[in-house]
Amino acid sequence: KSLPVIAVDGPAAAGKGTLAKCLADALCLPYLDTGLLYRAVGRLMLDGDLDPATQSGEQIAAALRPDDLKRTDLRTPDVDRAASLVAGDQAVRQALVHTQRAFAAERGGVLDGRDIGTVIFPDADVKLYITASVRTRAERRYMQTGGSVDAPDREARISEVEAALTERDRADTSRSAAPLRMAADAVKIETDTLIAEQVLAEAIRIVKSVL
């Protein structure tokens, strides 16, 4: 039997990336953060003075190279916005389908994203859907980005992050091209009351029960 493909989907800042990477390490499978593909296309469009709101990144997506994913400037606010626009372009998504399938073709893999279990690998061996309330996700993102528990502007900053995440959820779930939704055969993990180690333990338990 060929090596397993594990799909990890869910909304922004739910802890998918942390989980998927640790799961891949634990199972000795390759790991791909598919959000980086859309981020890299967005970045290259901005570099080339192309407007992701009005122009297509299809050709850039088709010519994407592994090194493009290693850039260190893929998580800036302008790339967040560009990637979100790029991700709504069906031609870009189509150009990246093969890249993602080819990644896991020989050695299996853990891939995290929004549409891995629904579009890219509808026959994935295991599908996990990682989620948490928008408040929990905003608090985590606030802490990850250097926020402290006793900052005087803590509440205001968390509210800002919460508003941004609500907007990304809306964009991710309402776009016509591969909207974010849980696959019918995915197993949901709600991470509100769990720390990363507990999410990993739960995911490993699910994987072992299925494989």
Q: Does 38 bind ligand C5P (CB under 6 A)?
A: yes
77-87 and 35-47 are packed helices; what angle lies between their axes, rounded to 10 degrees?
110
Burial zone of 92 (CB within 10 Å; 0-12 exposed, 13-18 middle, 19+ buried): buried
Q: Does 103 bind ligand C5P (CB under 6 A)?
A: no
Interface residue with ligand C5P among 5, 6, 34, 89 (CB under 6 A) is: 34
Interface residue with ligand C5P among 113, 124, 137, 183 (CB under 6 A) is: 113
How far apart (Å, rounded) are the C-alpha atoms in residues 131 and 140?
13
Interface residue with ligand C5P among 27, 87, 95, 138 (CB under 6 A) is: 87
Euclidean distance between the first and the last CA atom of the chain, given in angstroms as a whole number = 11
Burial zone of 16 (CB within 10 Å; 0-12 exposed, 13-18 middle, 19+ buried): buried
Q: Which is nearer to ligand C5P, 57 or 113 (CB)?
A: 113
Using CB under 6 A, which of the segments 31-39, 58-66, 121-129, 153-161 binds ligand C5P?
A: 31-39
In the complex, least distance from residue 168 CB atom to ligand C5P, rounded to whole angstroms: 6
Residue 1 annotated as part of some ligand binding site: no
Task: List, in sequence order, every residue forming a beta bridge with 113; answer none if it has no partner.
Answer: 9
Q: Which is nearer to ligand C5P, 116 or 152 (CB)?
A: 116
Tokens of 64: 């994407």
Written as one letter, the residue type at 16 is K
How far apart (Å, rounded) are the C-alpha atoms in residues 115 and 180?
6
In the complex, least distance from residue 22 CB atom to ligand C5P, rounded to whole angstroms: 16
Q: Detail the residues annotated as belonging to a binding site.
A: 10-18
Residues of the shown chain interacting with ligand C5P in the complex, contacts defined by CB under 6 A: 12, 34-35, 38-39, 83-84, 87, 113-116, 172
- Binding residues for ATP, as ranges, are 10-18
